[in-house]
Structure 1
Amino acid sequence: MATPNIVWVTLDSVRADHTTMHGYRRDTTPELAALARDGVAFETCIAHSSRTPVSVPSMLTGTYPSRHGVGLGAGVCGRIPDTMATVPDILRDCGYTSVAVSRNVYAGEVTGLADRFDRFVSPTLRDDLLSYPFVRSLAKYGAAAHRHSGGLTLDKQRHPKSFLVSDVAKRVLAEETRGADSVFLYLHYNDPHRPYYPPASFRDRYTTEAGVDPDAALDFARDMHEHAYEYMAKGLPFSETQWEMLYAMYDAAIAYTDHCLGSLLTFIREQVGETIVVVTADHGELFGEYGLLGHHIVLDDAITHTPLVVSGCPELERAREDVVQHVDVMQTIVSMVGGDTSQFQGYDLRSECRPFAVSQDLRGTVVDPNRQDYERIRQHNPEFDTTPFHRSLLTTLRTNEFRLQHTDEWRKLHHLPDERTVVNDTYPDVYSDLTARLTAWLETYGQPYAESRTEESHSPRTRERLREMGYLE
């Protein structure tokens, strides 16, 4: 029997508690919720990190952050080791053609992932969009600009790209599924990422109920994006109305992305053969937790608890209520189609249960100290207190009830959902048990891949894209 096609969709910066499936006050993801009714919506999916350059390599290598090392060393990012296998490499040996459509450079050129796919398309690159048949997607985008763009402006950040991502993905699937090989498609939607700029047709979706002006909300979201570090340095002096502006724009960006996802899911259902579909997020987003914005520095549920829906794998129903991670889903799917998972560090969700989730991050080892998150905040307020935050590698172990945070400087146990109160002395047995588990994990699964890191070299266009996303100044 032919192996199924596999479509893995990553929604950038979408936290679980802002989605329909997780009981949010707004129906932001009706298309994803509909997919969940035909598949499995996992209650507790924990991302591997707070940032795309760490989380996506974990998804596509089946390994934990400290194993692949991308995004945890010197420089802006780093690349996947040349001799480390990726999912496209492994599935190629199973007869798959691998394709990626991504406008996030961390899910592409910067991390070295673009080179691993048989075909990689970036809907932000002129050369890609002006090539046949993608110029037709660009023409469709222009014809529907009143619904999918930010209006009459040359500012690229004001023009969401989810429509282009979906249309290009449909054209790629239509082409590649004509052949004999099954297709693995990785798709990355970036519009929920700051600066939360939904198209004109979605701009007022939530502003009326919030009692805010849509244009004012859009301007404030842009201002927050451009001055995020300054605002954090000042203690986030936002009024209730300003917070509602940010929520309205963020939620509208999620809703627009979900709308575009829906058109892709309809296409798959009606015109593509048997397909396993995975929809998740690489990380969440902070709205004042720990006095922070964006996805920086900390690893709590606002950042790590992400939506996860899998369709086409009814065997995964047994794990719906378990703590799961992306490496588990990838391990399960690759195993199902006969791929070599010997490198992978996940659990096969058809038969295994994960005892705890592990997330990792490291800020403060970049070459230029002025690019460090802490220093970018302290430039605006030298008295900003960084003592609660990590200086060395932060590794967190999360169960359904507790989260243990570990660095070289400290360990902190939290009883969920409270992630500020330290309860090391309140639950000494739990603290001792989880500390032992985490220590054992760090000494085994957490050890780095043996090969030295491949140095990064970014093109001018890539560096421009990183600046647009707020990663470079």
Structure 2
Amino acid sequence: MEWHRVAPRRPTALLLAALMSTAACETVSEPAARYTCPDCNVVLISMDTLRADHVSAYGYERSTTPNIDALAERGVLFENAMSQSSWTRPAHLSMMTGLYPVEHGVRALINRQRLADSIPTLAAEMKRAGYATAAFTGGVNLAAAYGFDIGFDVYRTNGKYFRDNLEDVRFWLGEHAEERFFLFVHGYDPHTPYLTDPVDRIALELPERPPRRGLRPTCKRNGRRAGRAKPFVDEYDGAIHRGDRYVGKLVDELDQHGLLDRTVLLFTSDHGEEFLEHGRCFHLTTLYREVLHVPLIIVAPGLEASRVERLVPASVAVGPTLLEIAGVEDHALAGPSLFDPPGPEGPVVVSETERRRQTAQGLGHLRTLRTDGETLLHRVTDGRYERFDIVTDPGEHDPQSEGGRLELLVATLERWLDAHPPRVIGETAPVDPALEEQLKSLGYAD
């Protein structure tokens, strides 16, 4: 199955909704053909902390994401997209640079670590190609102080959530609707503290919200029993539904400005969230599937809808893929494109995280290598390796610490690291006290 160009059609918001009732997209092993739309605008939407298996289009039992589902029905959905980190800053920097965390140097939870100015970015390459560039983000870990503003004509934050920046997005689109543009929109909607509105609670039939101060302590008291995380899951799903409503409003803005028939839209997330599947809540400290499996959907004029089964790197492929679709030749981003076929060893995805104050707990610096059937977890701090057979153990609960398969995976990881040496060491960012407090409010403090 290939990605095909067909005659462009105007996909209005009404059409997007109608498509939900049509036959399911065809499932294919991988996109076999290149796709370009050099006259198109490019829009990147990132909903923070959104695990794929809580998105309706990925099979979740709750209707958490009707607007994202509508995009998936008319676009290419990647079923097995894995983030390159389990927290916001390194994953988004991988999106913007095409570099893995080990390469761009921002990996550890150090609040003053930023992207080096010498590293090329997606926005800078789009600007060089003649696109107007703008970003409206939730800030905090995406603050300009960390290098996220590099290459953007406009980089603005009015609040953490999609709703907070919607009016500015509307105004900016009105000013730039007649020129080619690259627009990046980000919101923390499903991130703690899991904000919902009454309409979200009604839509999902959620119980009354627990006391706000009680959520995090409850997670610690519940220990390893995932079934006790239901209050978290309810609030998380409600927050996803809230974010989805504003994704729908963003798509409506593109439609109202007459832009949908000449815009490429990529929707994704930086990481997921865990609810005691491995004894912890939230994200950042582990690299299991629940915190790395993210949605990845591309919608474009004439792009045939399908579902791609192949394992792909989510974060690091965003920038190179969008530049390729836009027809930007000789760009400086080194990462893989989603159009690239797997290498000789098959699909391989590497992710990592580091929280230095948890080194004594066996966490600290972690790295995973994933293939179609296995996961290798490397506890870098103490040198231990664990292998998971995800065919028989999809939840990654039964680690194997010896055997020939483990040795082969270790060798594969070593070859991968040799091919992806560090480019730079993350620079030091001047972070003001207000930003430090915002980081702490989201649980990012070391």
TM-score range, shorter chain: 0.7 to 0.9
Query: 270-279 vs 93-102, which deviates more?
Result: 270-279
Look up the SS of the partner of 1:203 in the other structure: helix
Aligned to 1:442: 417
In structure 2, the residue matched to 1:224 is 215
Which among 167, 175, 195 is matched to residue 197 of structure 1? Answer: 195
Q: State how far apart, in whole Å, the 1-side matches of 2:282 and 2:244 are.
A: 20
Runs of 5+ consecutive residues of structure 1 not aligned to the other structure: 125-159, 365-371, 376-385
Aligned-partner residue type, residue 421 of structure 1: D
Q: Give the counterpart of 1:106 among 115, 135, 141.
A: 141
1:399-449 residue CA offsets vs partner (Å, 9 max, x unmatched): 221111123311111011031212354xx443233222110011121x111
Q: In structure 2, what is the equivalent of residue 61 of structure 1?
A: 97
Alignment match of 1:432 (pick from 407, 414, 424): 407
Query: Superposition pairs for residues 323-338 of structure 1, below 5 Å?
Result: 323-325=311-313, 326-336=315-325, 337-338=327-328
Q: Provide the rounded CA distance (Å) in 1 between the counterparts of 2:263 and 2:140.
A: 26
The superposition leaves residues 199-219 of structure 1 with CA deviations (integer Å, 9 ceiling, x where unpaired) of: 2332344355xxx3x1xx241
Amino acid at match of 1:312: A
Structure number with higher helix proportion: 1
1:40, distance to aligned residue in structure 2 (A): 0.7
* Counterpart amino acid of residue 186 in structure 2: H
Tell me which residue corresponds to 2:373. 401
Q: Give TM-score, length-normalised by structure 2.
A: 0.82
Which residue is equivalent to 2:240? Answer: 254
Match of 1:236 in 2: 223
Unaligned runs of 5+ in 2: 1-36
> Structure 1 residues 259, 115: CA separation in 2 closer, same or farther (over 3 Å shift)?
same
Do 1:91 and 1:334's aligned partners in 2 also have CA atoms closer than 8 Å? yes
Q: Helix, strand or coil: the match of 1:347? A: coil
Instruction: Report the counterpart of residue 30 of structure 1 in structure 2.
Output: 66
Query: How far apart, CA to CA, are the structure 1 residues paired with 2:255 and 2:202?
Result: 30
Tell me the distance in 1 between the aligned counterparts of 2:248 and 2:432. Answer: 34
Letter in 1 for 2:298: V
Deviations 1:264-314 (A, max 9, x none): 112213424311101111000010022111103110110000111110176
Whole-Å Cα distance in 1 between the matches of residues 307 and 267 of structure 2? 16
| Distance in 2 separating the partners of 1:318 and 1:436 | 34
The one-letter code sitting in structure 2 at the alignment partner of 1:323 is: L
Query: 1: CA distance between counterparts of 2:432 and 2:202?
Result: 37
Task: String of CA shifts for 1:92-127, please: whole Å, max 9, x gaps.
Answer: 111011100011321232421124311011012xxx
Indicate how the Cα distance of structure 1 residues 465 and 321 shifts in structure 2: closer, same or farther if over 3 A, else same. Answer: same
Judging changes above 3 Å, is the alpha-carbon distance between structure 1 residues 250 and 114 closer, same or farther for their aligned structure 2 residues?
Answer: same
1:145 counterpart residue number? none
Which residue is equivalent to 2:432? Answer: 459
Counterpart residue number, 1:378: none
Query: Structure 1 residues 313 and 269, CA, compared in 2 at 3 Å: closer, same or farther?
Result: same
The offset of 1:192, in angstroms, is 0.5
Length, aligned pairs only: 399
Matches within 5 A, 1:267-278: 267-273=253-259, 274-278=262-266
Given that residues 46 and 324 in structure 1 are in contact (C-alpha distance below 8 angstroms), is that contact kept between their aligned partners in structure 2? Answer: yes
> Alpha carbons of 1:314 and 1:373: their partners in 2 closer, same or farther (altered >3 Å)?
farther
Change beyond 3 A, Cα 1:398–1:352:
closer
Q: Describe the shift of the 1:467–1:329 C-alpha distance in structure 2 as closer, same or farther (beyond 3 A).
A: closer
Q: Which residue of 2 aligns with 1:16?
A: 52
CA distance 1:77–1:70, shift in 2 (3 Å)? farther
Q: Confirm or deny: 8 A CA contact 1:285 1:293 kept in the other structure.
A: yes
Give 1:26-425 correspondences, 5 Å limit: 26-72=62-108, 75-124=110-159, 161-178=161-178, 180=179, 182-208=180-206, 212=207, 214=208, 217-220=209-212, 222-225=213-216, 227=217, 231-232=219-220, 234=221, 236=223, 243-273=229-259, 274-312=262-300, 320-325=308-313, 326-336=315-325, 337-349=327-339, 355-364=347-356, 372-373=357-358, 386=361, 389-391=362-364, 393-408=365-380, 409-416=383-390, 417-425=394-402
Q: Indicate if the aligned counterparts of 1:100 and 1:120 stay in contact, CA closer than 8 A.
A: yes
Cα pair 1:66 1:72 within 8 Å, conserved: no
TM-score, normalised via structure 1 length: 0.78
